[in-house]
Amino acid sequence: MKLVVGLGNPGKEYASTRHNIGFMVIDELLNRYSNQEVSKSSFQGDVYKSKSAIFLKPLTYMNLSGKSILKVKNFYKTRQTIVIHDDLDLPFGTLRFKLGGGHGGHNGLKSTDSAITKEYIRVRMGIGRPKNKGEVASFVLSSFSKDEEACLNEWIGKAADAVEAILVSDWENVASLHSIKKSNCLK
């Protein structure tokens, strides 16, 4: 069984922010799969089980995501973890894949690394970077622009397609077929 985690923050005020792209992809996957909610308070997250995977949206807020991931991973004894997250270092609409690596200042990845080590598959969804480095926190917690929103459903769908493929295939093969270098949606 594989564990698929979407990083994000709980609450309506964060629902449509850049930092919650991982939650958005999990929601898309849940719409595609027959699943059963198996959440427990000890998981500190929304957990769903299907025939092929466990899906998790940690409710610990981004900075403590690893706590929830570790609890679910240990309970279900999952053999592989896939983490879907926003990535400032990639332009909006980019989709990349990686095994391990650094956290790049991403607090959700930092927490995950310390909880379960760096040996998990990363589905990196580029959100771009603000012009001013001092605006990173407000940028990741901001909503997408109108132009970006027009592309959002297609991009989330492509990320969900890639995760589905990872569930049944080698992630490196999936990466070569599903990587998106730049969104064709934006003008």
Just list the catalytic residues: 19
Q: Are 84 and 97 in contact (CB under 8 A)?
A: no
Instruction: Tell which phi-psi region holds residue 101, choosing left (phi > 0), alpha (psi between -120 and 50) or beta.
Output: left
Could you give the CA distance from residue 78 to residue 116 in angstroms, rounded to a whole number? 12
- Coil, helix or strand at residue 62: helix
Residues contacting residue 122 through CB under 8 Å, at least 6 positions apart: 83, 85, 97, 98, 99, 100, 101, 109
101-130 burial, b at 16+ Cβ within 10 Å, e below that, comes to: eebeebbbbbbbbebbeeebbbbbbbbbbe
Q: Are 106 and 129 in contact (CB under 8 A)?
A: no
Other CB atoms within 10 A of residue 49 CB: 15
